[in-house]
């Protein structure tokens, strides 16, 4: 990748944005934090539904917002909302406060969703490097794994007794780093084309046309979503009790997360090498099969320490490389002037799938965690079976 270009500048800024913004000391014990405050598995799935519902409602308006005013303004708005959502957790003593936090957090995500990819892809096009989109996204994503290596160990150790004051300290520390993220966003440089003032309804219509003209884009999106939702969104919220049930002490959950993050970091940084050996299309299928295996192992061998650890690491690897590869394949098919809007339209479908899957799994969760993981494996299998056109390389 060329140096001293708009792309290299924005990639570096986003790397550090993700670095500071993803520092979450509460993350390794978040599910245990919920349960300590009276929430059960069904409540947690309802939290996810609140988050997804908020995303569903916000996606298109914020996508249009990003296309009209540029990624920089969109990021700053989203960062402020995310700070507010985490602040609410300091006062969360009733379920409705958790739900309100989830709604605000979901809304904040939509200001980044699509806008980050649009910013990087358009920046890369200026220097003729748009074919390096997956590597750029992998580099940015790797920042998340770097922070996890340290923050999850500290977080799990500090909250080892699961006391209220320990949780409060972890949330407050995380807010300090999120404020640094907000300041860093002022360094973002919008590509020259990001000064649109089109009618927002026109942008939405053009985004829908772009999806219709490229049906393979929609198929790939379904393939990615139906694997990511169970293997990422759901599993991430239940792997802590899974690890605890397999015999991992709370203080050591952070160490497991750190090792998984280390694996994710190297995987993200190696995407260019991996796609030079095996096609991107093949990696989509390979990672789908790995997700199914990891979820099945969790369902049937949830009390076996080594098998559970293997499943956690396998699913972390899948999440590390699957989305950056999809990002390259999908952005090659989306027109520049409606890139954020089109990605937001696809994210609406993702939010609908979230709501359907979370509500279905909430009914299954009452029978136990093993049934929950089995349901996740079935959904991931459906997604993996969706064909990706051979012309997608």
In tens, the pLDDT along 36-88 reads 888 887 788 888 889 888 988 887 788 778 777 888 999 999 999 999 999 99
pLDDT in tens, 161-218: 889 899 999 999 999 999 999 999 999 998 876 444 455 566 677 777 777 777 888 8
CA dihedral for 211, 48, 54, 179, sign (positive or negative): negative
What is the predicted pLDDT for the residue at 290?
Answer: 97
Per-residue confidence band for 340, with pLDDT thresholds at 50, 70 and 90: low
- Summarize the chain as % helix, strand, coil (round to 5): 80, 0, 20
Dump the DSSP string for 53-74: HHHHHHHHHHHHHHHHH-HHHH
Average pLDDT, the chain: 86
**Which domains does the chain show, CATH number per domain?**
6-186+211-385 (1.20.1250.20)
Residue 351: closest CA among 95, 113, 180, 32: 113
What is the predicted pLDDT for the residue at 200?
Answer: 57
What is the predicted pLDDT for the residue at 196?
Answer: 47
What is the predicted pLDDT for the residue at 201?
Answer: 62
What is the predicted pLDDT for the residue at 392?
Answer: 54
How many whole angstroms separate alpha carbon 179 and alpha carbon 80? 9
pLDDT in tens, 322-336: 988 888 888 777 766
- Specify whether the CB–CB gap between 228 and 292 falls below 8 A: no
pTM over 0.75: no
Q: Which residues of 97-119 are buried (b: 16+ CB within 10 A; e: fewer)?
A: ebbbbbbbbbbbbbbbbbbbbbb
CA dihedral for 148, 151, 153, 159, sign (positive or negative): negative
**Mean pLDDT, rounded, for 261-277:** 88
pLDDT in tens, 225-252: 999 999 988 898 788 889 988 999 888 8
How many whole angstroms separate alpha carbon 205 and alpha carbon 143? 35
Phi, psi dihedral angles at 330 (to 5 degrees): -75, -40
How many whole angstroms separate alpha carbon 313 and alpha carbon 237? 15
């Amino acid at each position: 990748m060329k140096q001293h270009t708009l792309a290299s500048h924005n990639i570096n800024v986003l790397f550090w944005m993700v670095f500071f913004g993803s520092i979450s000391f509460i993350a390794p014990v978040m599910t245990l934090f919920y349960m300590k405050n009276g929430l059960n598995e069904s409540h947690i799935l309802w939290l996810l539904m609140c988050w997804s519902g908020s995303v569903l409602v916000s996606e298109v308006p914020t996508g249009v917002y990003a296309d009209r005013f540029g990624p920089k303004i969109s990021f700053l708005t989203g960062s402020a909302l995310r700070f507010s959502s985490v602040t609410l957790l300091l006062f969360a003593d009733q379920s409705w406060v958790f739900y309100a936090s989830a709604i605000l957090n979901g809304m904040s995500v939509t200001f980044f969703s699509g806008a980050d990819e649009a910013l990087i892809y358009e920046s890369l096009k200026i220097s003729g490097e748009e074919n390096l989109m997956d590597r750029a996204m992998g580099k940015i994503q790797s920042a998340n794994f770097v922070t996890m290596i340290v923050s999850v160990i500290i977080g799990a150790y500090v909250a080892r007794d699961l006391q209220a004051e320990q949780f409060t300290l972890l949330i407050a520390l995380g807010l300090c780093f999120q404020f640094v993220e907000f300041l860093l966003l002022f360094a973002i440089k919008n590509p020259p084309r990001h000064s649109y003032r089109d009618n927002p309804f026109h942008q939405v219509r053009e985004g829908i046309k772009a999806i219709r003209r490229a049906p393979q884009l929609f198929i790939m999106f379904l393939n990615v979503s139906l694997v990511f939702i169970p293997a990422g969104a759901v599993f991430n919220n239940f792997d802590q009790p899974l690890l605890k049930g397999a015999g991992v002490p709370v203080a050591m959950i952070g160490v497991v997360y750190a090792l998984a993050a280390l694996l994710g970091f190297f995987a993200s940084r190696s995407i260019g090498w991996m796609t030079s050996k095996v096609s991107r299309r093949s990696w989509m299928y390979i990672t789908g099969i790995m997700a199914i295996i990891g979820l099945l192992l969790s369902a049937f061998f949830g009390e076996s320490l080594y098998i559970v650890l293997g499943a956690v690491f396998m699913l972390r690897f899948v999440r590390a490389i699957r989305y950056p590869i999809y990002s390259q394949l999908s952005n090659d098919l989306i027109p520049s002037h409606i890139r954020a809007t089109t990605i937001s339209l696809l994210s609406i479908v993702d939010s609908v799938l979230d709501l359907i899957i979370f509500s279905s799994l909430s009914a299954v969760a009452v029978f136990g965690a093993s049934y929950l993981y089995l349901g996740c494996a079935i959904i991931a299998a459906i997604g993996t079976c969706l064909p990706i056109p051979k012309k997608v390389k």
